[in-house]
Amino acid sequence: MLKWSEKLIMLMFIIGIVIVSVTAGVIGNLLFDAKGIDVTADRVYSLSEQTKEFLDKNTQNLFIRIYAAEDLAVKDVRWKIYLARIIKLAEDYEKEGHGKVKFSFVKIKPFADTQAEAEKAGIKEFLYPNGEKYAYFGMVLANENGKLITIPKFRFDDFNYIENLITRNLSQLTVNNNKNIAVISPFFDAVTKYTYFGMSGEWPFADRLRKSGYNLIALDNISGGINPNFDAVIVFYPLSLDSLTVYALDQYLMRGGKIIVLLDAFSENRFADEDEFEYISYVSGMDKFLENSGIRYSSNLVVGDNENNRDAVLDGRKIKYPLRVVVTKENLTSHKITENIKSLRLNHSGFFKYESKPDLDTKVLFTTSENSGVLPAEKISSIDYNTLFEHYKQTQQKYPLAVLVEGKFSSMFDAPIIDTPEIIAKNLPFLSVPLKEGKLLVVADSDMLGESLWNANHAKNHDIYGDVFVSDNLQLLLNALDYMTSADYVSVPLKQAAGYQENWQNLLQEKAEKKFAEAKNNYGKKLLSAQRKLSALNNEMKFAELSSVKRIKEIEQLQRDIERYKNNLEKINYDIEKEYNRLFLLFAVALIAVTPVLITLLLAGMFGLYNKKLLKKAREYGNE
């Protein structure tokens, strides 16, 4: 047992260490505040070069104000870390802003003036994770003229995106007027609302473009032509564009217009008539317009990439699906539009062929990898993996997926079209020779703007910030608009985006799937063939007056076969799971059992050798 004096001494020691640790923490904070070294590859904790460059050039007074509930940091350690991070970031802006950026931090107290002020600025309240009471945590950015941009609330998810958000918004505040973008979207209203399977809201990409400094105006009625004052025109999902729209686009381009066209080979082929095995082929209506600029679009073929792609679940199976193309950095051409882009995701994309035209500068912005192939577009709608790949042809060539053409375009028309409305003829007289240099960007897939291809948080938060980027699709469109409209907006590269990293589970799963891929395909094919035969026989039986015994036996046999194939497929799935478990166990055993033994033996060996050497030296001394 310890004596009283010993206990007292021990207690004093404990109190001493507690006092020292607290004092060290306080002094450390006083001396160094938030100073630190950022060791992440993406420099997550530091301002990027783009932000610094913007702050260097900025001549306006800008204000950053953070609003946070007074007890936010003490309620949850994650909020505490997050708030400290945002404050440090804002302080960095102030430090790098050459006196032009002012940062302030406002604590919101319940029922105080600060609460009313925050709410007036658009800061939104939210519940603490324990559901206890309402909290506030947002940011207001303002310029010297009182123009405000509010980030209504922060989320944990957008930790690595905050700098992008702040810099982009600050750069918007330095621009006098937002750019006006006309949107031609004949298939659905992409600009004002989002209606899809009973859900409604704003299309996420349109919402993000608006938040990034672009006014979107839907051009539903083209009878007045396209006003050359539009900073750019986006043609989204063009299906059966009429000749007047094409004429208006042509004349807009002749007047120095900037056009971004997002085409879709799959959509041009996907609309089925009553018999689901027949397809009506839609056309974009833009073929001649594009050909006039030296671009030919393959709307009948869909491109696949065997090297860079994403998984898909078909027939209840997870497979490597080449038609879900991923464009990686190696397949991007260096250009302002592809600057900061790390990866793009496309689904069932078409591709382009191009030839250079006089007075026009043509540049391919990104392609598939060399390990690519093509598939007739109408085959995709069969949604049947086996049939799909029967038609897939490996061609081993790179397919251009986006082409930028710049320069003086020549008109595809020799004269105004016959039914030119009077208003166009009067205000925008026909030009056969260009007035100014124009820009045309064509992208082979319009699906790439679908939120699920760029935001892991999709469908969760359409009305607030909090995107978790899995690709740079949206950034590509923003870069393209910034480039086309010569806007002074600044975009910062995405940092540590979730979709760019592989994990161990996927890697082992992929290896396990690979082992059984052939057997799985075989049974898949057999099952499909049997199901088709059964369906045909059943149809036949419906119209037959008498059912023959032979037919009934055939049907029974097919049903038995189908059951057998299904069982076999289930068994294969079970085997894949077993294989995954085996691989995981192998990995775990190698790591948990083998590595420790090997390292211990290695250490023992090294120490043994050292001892031997020491002994030898001692003997030598002894002999001497």
Partner 1 sequence: MRDFVDNLTVFFCKEFKSFFQNKMIYVLLPIYLIISFAFTLYFSTFMTVANPAMQQFFLLQPKIFLIIVPALTMRLWVEEYKNNTWEILLSQPISLTAAVIGKFLAVWAITGVMLLSSCGLWIISAGFIGCDNIFVLANYLMTFLIIGIMCAVSAWAAALCFNYVGAFLLSWAFLAILFAVNFDNYINDVLMVFVDNFNAKTFSDFAEISTSLVSGEIKAAFVFYACAVMAAALWANVEAVEYKRSEK
Q: Give the footprint of partner 1 on this chain (CB under 8 A).
A: 6, 9-10, 13-14, 16-18, 20-29, 31-41, 44-45, 68, 70, 73-74, 77, 80-81, 83-84, 87, 105-107, 496, 498, 500-505, 507, 584, 587-588, 591-593, 595-597, 599-600, 603-604, 607
In the numeric block, the tokens 């604590």 are attached to: 107
Nearer to partner 1, 17 or 283 (CB): 17
Q: How far is the CB of 454 from partner 1 (least distance, A)?
A: 17
Q: What is the DSSP letter of 432?
A: S
Q: Which is nearer to partner 1, 81 or 459 (CB)?
A: 81
In 393-461, beta strands by DSSP E: 393-394, 400-407, 438-443
* Shortest Å, Cβ 411 to partner 1: 50
Between 44 and 537, name the residue whose CB sits nearer to partner 1: 44
Contact (Cβ atoms closer than 8 angstroms) between residue 341 and residue 479 = yes
Half-sphere exposure of 561 (CA within 13 A, CB side): 18
Residue 33 gets the label, from left (phi > 0), alpha (psi -120 to 50) or beta, of left
For 286, the token pair is 């833009």
Alpha helices in 413-503 (DSSP H): 422-427, 473-484
Shortest separation between residue 593's beta carbon and partner 1, angstroms: 8
SS3 label, residue 366: strand
Beta pairing, strands 317-328 & 309-314? antiparallel
Residue ranges of E strands in 332-371: 343-345, 351-354, 360-367
Give whichever of 532 and 616 is closer to partner 1, judged by the CB atom: 616
- Is the CB of 44 or the CB of 431 nearer to partner 1? 44
Distances (CA, A) of 342 to 79, 229, 291, 332: 30, 33, 30, 9
Structural tokens at position 119: 């709410």
Q: How far is the CB of 589 from partner 1 (least distance, A)?
A: 10
Strand order, beta sheet including 438-443:
214-218, 179-184, 232-236, 258-262, 438-443, 400-407, 360-367
With tokens 């993000």, the residue in question is 208
Q: Which is nearer to partner 1, 187 or 584 (CB)?
A: 584
Please, what is the minimum distance in Å from the beta carbon of residue 503 to partner 1?
5
The secondary structure of residue 124, as a DSSP letter, is P
The number of CA neighbours under 13 Å toward the Cβ of 31 is: 6
Distance CA(53)–CA(51), nearest Å, equals 5
CB 196, CB 249: distance < 8 Å: no
Token duo for residue 578 = 């077993």
Work out the number of other CB atoms within 10 angstroms of the CB of residue 242: 12
Residue nearer to partner 1 on the CB measure, 544 or 589:
589
Smallest separation, CB 53 to partner 1 (Å): 23
CB 345 within 8 A of CB 448: yes
SS3 label, residue 309: strand
Q: For residues 472 and 482, what is the distance between their CA atoms, to the nearest angstrom?
A: 15
In the complex, minimum distance from the CB of residue 606 to partner 1, in angstroms, rounded to a whole number:
9
Compute the least distance from the CB of residue 51 to partner 1, in Å.
17
Distances (CA, A) of 103 to 87, 173, 464: 9, 15, 23
Please say which residue, 41 or 418, places its beta carbon nearer to partner 1.
41
Q: Is 23 or 223 the residue whose CB approaches partner 1 more closely?
A: 23
Place of tokens 């899995």: 470
SS3 13: helix
Q: With respect to partner 1, which residue has the nearer C-beta, 72 or 239?
A: 72
Residue 493 Cβ vs partner 1, minimum distance, rounded to whole Å: 15
User: Nearer to partner 1 by C-beta: 37 or 199?
Assistant: 37
For residue 561, the minimal CB distance to partner 1 (Å) is 38
Closest separation in Å from C-beta 67 to partner 1? 12
Our CB check for partner 1 shows the closer of 430 and 584 to be 584
Give min distance, CB of 7 to partner 1, in A. 11
What's the chain's length in residues?
624
Fill in the DSSP letter of residue 594: I
